């Protein structure tokens, strides 16, 4: 980075500098973990009776090492960066809207557990309960790489609290994750391809809705992508944020198109649209969460809904690295 002319292209230089810092942090973590392991081994060799204490001491080391190994699986162009995530209620009426809100809670908790920073951009309340849609940004190392594992349709099976007979209902919600592009990055958008609407944010939805008079909805006519923002203080700020999210969604569309092309080359068929159920969350008549892409499953459904998603993400990354899924 000290070579003459390195900073002539400031955007590329900044990208390389950021990547260098990321790899350096990863190497420092590895060296620290290795030292801790070597120290524990030396202590054990001197006094084997310390084994129980040393095992307990190495527990967190093993967990961090697993996270470090996971980091090596984030190999996409945008994987190391931030993400913008949308949750849309699907088939299932009020249950689907309630499911969308449950998923928002799950992801906010998971993000907090991983040390990510989140900001709610918009939340459209449901007609009776829950949310029709919600969009939030996630900032932190490998945020997009982690959330990319969550793209697709999530299915909930439970006894509906909105059914007086408490019958079993099935509801669906879709997760769309896109790389949150840096503000200096731009994707070319023809203004003629946009329909921009302004509206007043609904007062319903409790803590999820920041009430303003300047919410903005942008529709990208060629692709049908719709983004909206209602949490900024001015219409201009909401429009700028919505445009940034739209650019991120268009960048994600390009990623999906490349993945679909790879799938075709491999002879695989992959539906990246709304109909692709990636995971089922069964709360009745038994409890289980199963990922249909990897076969990974957990019996503690409530733990998953409280944010315990790391196992699912790790299984997805390993399957993707092995070429079992695209």
Distances (CA, A) of 2 to 5, 7, 25, 26, 164: 9, 9, 19, 22, 70
The reply to whether CATH 3.30.70.1660 applies to domain 83-321 is yes
Give the integer Cα–Cα distance in Å for 72 and 141: 12
Structure tokens at 257: 């198109």
d(CA 284, CA 165): 14
More confident site: 155 or 10: 155
3-state secondary structure of 77: coil
User: 191, 186, 211, 189: which is closest to 201 by C-alpha?
Assistant: 211
Please name which of 153, 119, 145 lies closest in space to residue 281, comparing C-alpha atoms: 153
Q: Of all residues in the chain, what percent carry a pLDDT higher than 90?
A: 50
Domain residue ranges of the chain, discontinuous segments joined by +: 6-71, 83-321
C-alpha–C-alpha distance, residues 37 and 14, integer Å: 35
**204 and 219 Cβ atoms separated by less than 8 Å:** no
Question: Mean pLDDT over residues 222-237, rounded?
Answer: 87
Q: What is the pLDDT of residue 135?
A: 94
Question: What is the pLDDT at residue 274?
Answer: 43
Q: What is the DSSP letter of 91?
A: S
Q: How confident is the model at residue 202 (pLDDT cuts 50, 70, 90)?
A: low
Which residue bears the tokens 């088939």? 91
Give 69-80 pLDDT, tens digit per residue. 888 888 888 898
Mean pLDDT of the chain: 85
Q: Cα 70 vs. chain centroid, distance in angstroms?
A: 15
Cβ-contact 210, 122 below 8 angstroms = no
Calpha distance 158→168 (Å, rounded) = 5
pLDDT band at 271 (very low <50, low <70, confident <90, very high): very low
Query: What's the average model confidence in pLDDT over 269-277?
Result: 50
Q: Per-residue pLDDT averaged across 152-174, rounded?
A: 92
The whole-number average pLDDT for the span 263-285 is: 67
225-229 and 215-220 beta bridge pairing: antiparallel
pLDDT at 186: 65
Predicted confidence (pLDDT) per residue in 39-50, tens digit? 999 998 998 899
Neighbours of 47 (CB within 10 A): 10
Structure-block tokens of residue 147: 């959330």
- Confidence (pLDDT) at 227: 93
- Select, from the ranges 35-49, 80-94, 103-117, 188-202, the one with the highest average predicted confidence (pLDDT): 103-117
Higher confidence at residue 65 or residue 112?
112
What mean pLDDT do residues 290-300 have? 96
Q: Is the pLDDT of residue 263 over 70?
A: no
Which residues make Cβ contacts (< 8 Å) with residue 242, sequence separation at least 6? 216, 217, 218, 227, 228, 229
Residue 281: CA count within 13 A, CB half-sphere: 25
């Amino acid at each position: 980075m000290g070579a003459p002319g390195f900073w002539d292209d400031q955007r590329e230089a900044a990208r390389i500098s950021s990547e260098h810092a990321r790899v350096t942090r990863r190497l420092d973590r590895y060296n620290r973990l290795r030292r801790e392991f070597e120290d524990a081994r030396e202590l054990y060799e001197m006094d084997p009776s310390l084994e129980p204490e040393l095992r307990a001491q190495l527990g967190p080391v093993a967990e961090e090492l697993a996270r470090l190994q996971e980091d090596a699986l984030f190999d996409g162009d945008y994987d190391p960066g931030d993400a913008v995530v949308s949750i849309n209620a699907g088939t299932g009426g009020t249950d689907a809207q309630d499911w969308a809100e449950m998923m928002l809670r799950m992801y906010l908790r998971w993000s907090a557990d991983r040390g990510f920073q989140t900001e709610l951009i918009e939340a459209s309340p449901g007609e009776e309960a829950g949310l029709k849609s919600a969009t939030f940004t996630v900032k932190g190392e490998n945020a997009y790489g982690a959330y990319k594992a969550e793209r697709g349709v999530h299915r909930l099976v439970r006894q509906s609290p909105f059914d007086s007979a408490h019958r079993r209902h099935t509801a669906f919600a879709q997760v769309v994750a896109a790389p949150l592009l840096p503000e200096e990055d731009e994707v070319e958008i023809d203004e003629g391809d946009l329909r921009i609407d302004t509206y007043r944010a609904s007062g319903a939805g409790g803590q999820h809705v920041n009430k303003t008079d300047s919410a903005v909805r942008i529709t990208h006519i060629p692709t049908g992508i719709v983004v909206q923002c209602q949490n900024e203080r001015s219409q201009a700020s909401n429009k700028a944020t919505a445009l940034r999210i739209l650019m991120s969604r268009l960048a994600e569309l390009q990623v999906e198109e490349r993945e679909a092309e790879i799938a075709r080359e491999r002879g695989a068929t992959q539906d990246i649209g709304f109909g692709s159920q990636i995971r089922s969350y069964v709360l009745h008549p038994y409890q289980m969460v199963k990922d249909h892409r990897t076969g990974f499953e957990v019996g503690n459904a409530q733990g998953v809904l409280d944010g315990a998603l790391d196992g699912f993400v790790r299984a997805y990354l390993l399957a993707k690295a092995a070429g079992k899924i695209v």
